[in-house]
Structure 1
Amino acid sequence: MSDQDVEILAIGAGPSNLALAVALEEMAPGLARKSLVIERDEEVSWQRGMLLPEALSQVSFLKDLVTLRNPRSRFSFLNYLHATGRLNDFVNMGSFVPYRLELAAYLRWTAEQLKLVGVARGKECVAIDPVLRDGVLTGWATRTADGDTIRSRYLVVGAGRDPRIPEPLLGVAQERVIHSTQYLQRIAELRKDLPYRVTVIGAGQSAGELFTSVQSELPECRPTLVMRSIGLNTYETSKFTNELFFPSFVDEFHAAMPEARARILAQMHHTNYAGLAPGTMDSLYRQVYLDRLSGRSRLRMITMHDLTAARDEGDEIVLELTDWRSGTVQELRTDLVLLGTGFAPQMPRMVRRIADAVGVDEVAVTRDYRLVLDRPATAACYLQGVNEATHGIADSLLSVLAPRANDILQDILTHRAAHLTEVQAPLAAA
């Protein structure tokens, strides 16, 4: 076990905190040398469970970690392609959206290119405690699973939201339930020659991808797609609507009244949720069409049904599905449940624990993503990717990575300058 003092500790080496690390290296090298990113996995990745061979990103490559802040940066996606000898191939493909595998490789490459900001892999955060002196918050003490303690003045949480698990499935054998975040790792552990009955829950992009992928990953399986909606829909992709994903819209959204924000989010729901990319939709429909044409009847879809109960029965799970048109209940027996249900809208458990520890009843952040505290403080905590309600629907996506990193860094620099005397004091003494 060992202790370590840093000025900035960023939890999670995903796109959000890597964008911040890049901003630190380019704009505040002195502070970068006192900064650390910790990642619980042994390697830096992104959407590890859904790195399917043909899955495309839904966001332009220009919305990478840095380009919208600094188009000349050596950390850009284009420079990654150039450095790895793949720029001509990507240009020739003629697409603004890279494959998901490419973006994951770009993130790994970026982490390796960092020279000043430390990146510690295999470091899982298990607890975060506020450091108080005479009632003033002066820092944070983060404990990791290997017994280390990392003390920091600034904490940046970018670990993502918690997976959404439908309540009826919380009480069944979890070895037969796989959320999309764990799909590839866990599906690889299963035998390929068994005729699994597979149920996919959801009506969005991840559910569509799971339904398609499992047909090849488990060649003998018979998948059923279950959804509450009347059918599958494509994302709303109007270029006019997409302007609401511009970084400049964050200011406009943040300044709106709370009821107006809620109304905007409701109207933008189908730009990011409960929909499929047009290419995925077309491919999926062709699969169903050919299945019907062949007479095999391997693929099945159940629409307009709620999952109302679930139980274990021997080696299978019995799902209770209620038709919300008639109230009729049917049972669906299955060997494996795949969840394309996305992420819980509530603040992640890690954020709620931090808030509880400092006595914050309701989590709120400033325009610059700083957690609002109800006590004097010379330290601060920043939240990335969980502020949709106050910063707009793009907050959980790649669209605002670079500008948001700039906002957070500028706020940290301003905050440090305002507390210069305290900043110079040894953190360990706080």
Structure 2
Amino acid sequence: MFDVIGIGFGPANLALAIAMEESGCGLRARFIEAASGPGWQSAMMLDGSDIQHNPVRDLVSLRNPRSRFSFINFLFEHDRLLAHLNLPMEFPFRKEYGQYISWAAGHFADRVDYGTRAVAIEVRYDAASEPYYVVRSDAGREYHARSLVIGTGRTPYVPAPFDTVTSERVFHLTSYLPALDRLAAEAAEKGSDWPPQHVVVVGGSQSAIELTLDLSRRFPQARVSTYCRPYAPREKDTSPFSEESYFPEFTDLYFAADRAGKASLDAQLRLTNYSAADGDVLRELYCLIYEQRLDDAQRVFVHGNNDILAIHDDGATQRLTLRDRVAGHMTEVAADLVVLATGFRDLGPAKHQERHPRIMDAIGDRFAVDQHGYLVIDSDYHVEPVGSSMPPLFLNGLCESTHGIGDAGSFSLLSIRAQRLLDGLNKRLP
């Protein structure tokens, strides 16, 4: 019987593990991670790509700037601190930050079961009629705990018409590098055509622009077409005033707001993180296209104002039907690969959201929702049960609908959230 079972061991639960270690809280914790080893965004470790937050907003520093688990100490221990500080870059390479995450996770290898996927959760009762959680793994192993912390990350959002496609040639960005490696290996084995001649990227986000640039370098003879719904890809709102939405004070403001207030804040701040790209990659892409036009050899294209209405899997070719959102005319495009930079699902009642993380399916109806259909989540990330018969359950890195834009998918408040969540565990576990 553990005090805490953490499902997932990405940055969110890693930051919690570090907070537990440094606090000396004495809670017995075990983490379950589906991946075969520590890592972070391994499918998007693109050459030249950087992170999008100040590196000091790491796993620990806002909570404990003296921590040995900081990014600065990682650089120091690897004899790269001075060289890193001399880099003419605003933000570090993503691959270096990925190495930092793996290094930090390595300190907790004895508390993590890698290659273990949690598939179901149930509640049982001990001899004293006290409830506890049972988490079953894909190998049939059971983990028993007095509380759960779910830090699985958000579910990739695959919108229609792609949600019914089963082809290996249509995949979400979370599978990008493994999918390319698999397809290349299959082509070599079968003697089929490779590399692709035309790749379509769907979306207008930072990831969409990064993928477009990477594909243009990886397959220099291929046509790369990016389709997005707005008129053109948009630049992120990086105003320092807007960036204060990634302060803990904003989290408190957002948490206290009613649903209409939350919706207003979401609309105002969306471009700080979603459906937009950093200026540097937008400029790089624009200059690339311009130079190709100078050479009368344009191979990279960005098409705005487009809805993709249908896709037909024709074996090695994917045929897409598109509609211009302004002019209304229809076109058809054939592609060898389609990469979906379509984002992730938040928690909520909308069509593109999910009511709770999928691992909670068997127990989801035992937790309260508000009048708008959102889970009732406390300020310390504890999910309110229906009645009093449920052990404590927390969501880590999944609470953007209640805690604001700095919560899901962002490093900005990772360490502070870990402390709040740990305080909640200490309060609720006698």
Query: TM-score, normalised to structure 1's length?
Result: 0.91
- Structure 1 residues 378 and 203 mapped into 2: Cα distance closer, same or farther (>3 Å)? closer
Matched, 1:381 2:393: yes
Where does the alignment leave 5 or more consecutive residues of structure 1 unmatched?
418-430
- Residues 173, 414 of structure 1: alpha-carbon distance in 2 compared, 3 angstrom cutoff: closer
Contact 1:136 1:376 in 2 (8 A): no
Segment drifting more, 299-308 vs 86-95: 86-95
Aligned pairs (5 A) from 1:29-428 = 29-31=25-27, 34-93=28-87, 95=89, 97-114=91-108, 118-132=111-125, 138-191=131-184, 193-345=194-346, 346-347=353-354, 349-350=357-358, 352-353=360-361, 355-356=363-364, 358=366, 360=368, 362=373, 363-377=375-389, 379-396=391-408, 397-417=410-430
Q: Distance in 2 between matches of 1:96 and 1:120?
A: 36
Q: 1:355 to 1:395 in 2, by over 3 A?
A: farther
Q: Is the 8 A contact 1:24 1:409 kept in 2?
A: yes
**In terms of mean alpha carbon deviation, does 90-99 or 324-333 score higher?**
90-99
Taking the aligned partners of 2:389 and 2:73, their CA distance within structure 1 comes to 40
Shift of 1:217: 2.3
**1:106-154 CA deviation, whole Å, 9 max, x = no partner?**
1111111238x71221111111112246997722111111221111111
- Cα distance change of structure 1 residues 195 and 184 upon mapping to structure 2, 3 Å threshold: closer
Report the AA paired with residue 420 of structure 2.
D
The amino acid that maps onto 2:11 is P
Structure 1 residues 359 and 137, CA gap change in structure 2 (3 angstroms): farther
Name the aligned partner's letter for residue 283 of structure 1: E
Q: How many residues align?
A: 410
Runs of 4+ in 1 over 4 A off after TM superposition: 132-137, 359-362
For 1:103, the aligned partner's letter is Y
Structure 1 residues 205 and 135, CA, compared in 2 at 3 Å: closer, same or farther?
Answer: farther
Cα RMSD over matched residues?
Answer: 2.0
Whole-angstrom distance in 1 between the partners of 2:78 and 2:128: 51
Check conservation: 1:193, 1:220, Cα contact below 8 A. Answer: no
Contact 1:38/1:119 (<8 A) preserved: yes
Who is 1:424 aligned against? Answer: none
Q: C-alpha deviations, 1:16-63, integer Å up to 9, x for none?
A: 0000000000113521xx101111111111111111121111111111
Matched-pair contact (CA < 8 Å) for 1:254–1:391: yes
**Are residues 314 and 35 of structure 1, via their aligned partners in 2, closer, same or farther at CA, if it must alter by over 3 Å?**
closer
Q: Counterpart of 1:425?
A: none
Q: Which residue identity lines up with residue 93 of structure 1 in the other structure?
A: L
Instruction: State the secondary structure of the residue aligned to 1:181.
Output: helix
Q: Which amino acid aligns with 1:356?
A: G
Q: Does structure 2 retain, via aligned residues, the 8 Å contact 1:187–1:217? A: no
Letter of the 2:79 counterpart: G
Partner residue in 1 for 2:187: none
Corresponding residue number in structure 1 for 2:189: none
> Partner of 2:104: helix, strand, or coil?
helix
Q: Which letter maps to 1:7?
A: D
* Cα shift at 1:414: 1.0
Give distance in 1, aligned partners of 2:77 and 2:235.
36
Note if contact 1:130-1:358 (Cα within 8 Å) is conserved in structure 2: no
Partner Cα separation in structure 1 for residue 411 and residue 222 of structure 2: 34
* Separation of aligned partners in 1, 2:315 and 2:245: 50
Runs of at least 5 residues in structure 2 that lack an aligned partner in the other structure: 185-192, 347-352
The CA distance in 1 between the partners of 2:196 and 2:301, in whole Å, is 15
Deviations along 1:75-127, one digit per CA (max 9) or x if unpaired, are: 11111111111111111125552211111111111111238x71221111111
Provide TM-score, normalisation by structure 2.
0.91
Q: What SS does the aligned partner of 1:229 have?
A: coil
Change (3 A) 1:67 1:377: farther
Counterpart Cα distance in 1 of 2:204 and 2:128: 49
**Aligned pair in 2 of structure 1 residues 161, 258: CA closer, same or farther (>3 Å)?**
same
Give the share of equivalent positions with the same residue, in percent.
Answer: 33
Residues in 1 aligned to 2:321 and 2:376: alpha-carbon distance in whole angstroms: 38
Alpha-carbon distance between aligned partners in 2 of 1:39 and 1:195, rounded to the nearest angstrom: 34
Deviation at 1:197, TM superposition (A): 1.4
Instruction: Give the CA deviation at 1:287.
Output: 1.1
- Structure 1's 332 and 257: CA in aligned 2 closer, same or farther, altered over 3 A? same
Report if aligned partners of 2:119, 2:359 keep a CA contact under 8 Å in 1: no
Contact kept in structure 1, 2:120 and 2:360, CA below 8 Å: no
Q: Is the 8 A contact 2:233 2:276 kept in 1?
A: yes
Cα gap change, 1:316/1:148 in structure 2, threshold over 3 Å: closer, same or farther?
Answer: same
Aligned-pair CA distance for 1:245: 0.8
Provide the C-alpha distance between the structure 1 equivalents of 2:10 and 2:315, rounded to a whole number of angstroms: 40
Cα distance in 1 between the residues matched to 2:9 and 2:284: 33
SS of the equivalent of 1:30 reads: coil
Conserved 8 A contact 2:126-2:132: no
- Give the superposition deviation at 1:385: 1.6
